[in-house]
Amino acid sequence: MSTKGDYAAVRKDIAALLHQPEYDDGSAGPVLVRLAWHSAGTYDATTDTGGSNGAGMRYESEGGDPANAGLQHARVFLEPVKEKHSWITYSDLWILAGIVAVREMGGPDVPFSPGRTDYVDDSKLPPRGRLPDGAQGAAHIRHVFGRMGFSDQEIVALSGAHNLGRCHADRSGFDGAWVQNPTRFSNSYFRLMLSLTWKEKTLPNGVKQFVHVDEDLGQELMMLPTDLALVNDPQFRPWVELYAKDKDRFFEDFSAVFHKLTELGIRRDAKGKVLNSDNVKGGYVS
Ligand code: CCH
């Protein structure tokens, strides 16, 4: 029997499912981090639409967005946890799973604030096309993250999540991992971005990305055009340099900005109780 509000028990069960020998690099962690980010990253501050409230990816309009290809794996991994702790909303579960995965892979503690609703408010649904396109450059990244209310420093810190996981040709069209150990959270992504030479490569599917071939290890690493935009843009670059040499500062800033991401569109009172989720038909009942 799961006790309502026992988030520690949920955390434990999420941590226990991360080890997946048959999946990717043996871990469900990276795809869970991406699920949390895509659930929140549709937010638009001007119209107050999108964001993690509502767990809209359960439905075709958002779940079927090509930008979300592959995230069904993350949702399937979490289904037994939802079944066991049926009181937790999907929207809270997805955010908590991302937070637990970051920590379990050696990253910082990110504060978790619960209370999201699974009630889908049609007037808050995000249109498709709000998530960033890896084929683009600095102006696009600033536009997308600026819409959510993030500064240049916050954009660079958040992008450090590409220390984790990989691109899949059958999901995004891009292919490969950013770092040698993609299930260990660190600042390698920033260090490699600055220290290696990156060559443009056209994949068999016509998609262009940047690669570095390590002859000794026989391994190929990759960067998206949007990743390299961070070193090539004069305002982003100083943050890349800072995080490349100061891992503690990166962890501290990542924790703060990932928490901010998870709270987009959630309004709370002074005690942290969510104001825009209770008392809605079909929604979260406290
Ligand atoms: Fe990302 N990301 N991301 N990303 N991402 C991809 C994979 C991951 C962009 C594009 C892609 C963030 C920002 C951006 C993760 C976390 C974050 C992929 C490959 C693309 C493409 C998807 C595939 O093929 O499976 C772009 C563009 C931006 C910004 O401009 C932010 C912010 C975060 C989190 C804070 C993680 C983790 C992955 C690995 C997923 C996996 O399945 O291994």
pLDDT at 284: 43
User: Does residue 39 contact residue 94 with C-beta atoms inside 8 Å?
Assistant: yes
Catalytic (active site) residue 239:
no
Find the 162 Cα to ligand 1 centroid distance in Å: 6
Is the pLDDT at 141 greater than 90? The verdict is yes
Q: Please say if 178 is a catalytic residue.
A: yes
Res 121 pLDDT > 90: no
Strands 208-214 and 199-202, sheet pairing: antiparallel
Average pLDDT of the chain is 94
- Ligand 1 pocket member 166 (CB < 6 A): yes
Would you say residue 286 has pLDDT above 50?
no
Confidence of residue 282 (pLDDT cuts 50, 70, 90): very low
- Marked catalytic residue, from 38, 73, 85, 162: 38
Do 112 and 102 form a contact (C-beta atoms < 8 A)? no
**Is residue 226 within 6 Å of ligand 1 at its C-beta?**
yes
Q: Whose CA is nearest to atom 23 of ligand 1?
A: 167
pLDDT tens digits, one per residue of 152-209 = 999 999 999 999 999 999 999 999 999 999 999 999 999 999 999 999 999 999 999 9
HSE, side-chain direction, 13 A CA sphere, residue 52: 30
What ipTM did this prediction achieve? Answer: 0.99
Phi–psi pair at 105, nearest 5 degrees: -90, 15
Q: Is 75 in the pocket of ligand 1 (CB under 6 A)?
A: no
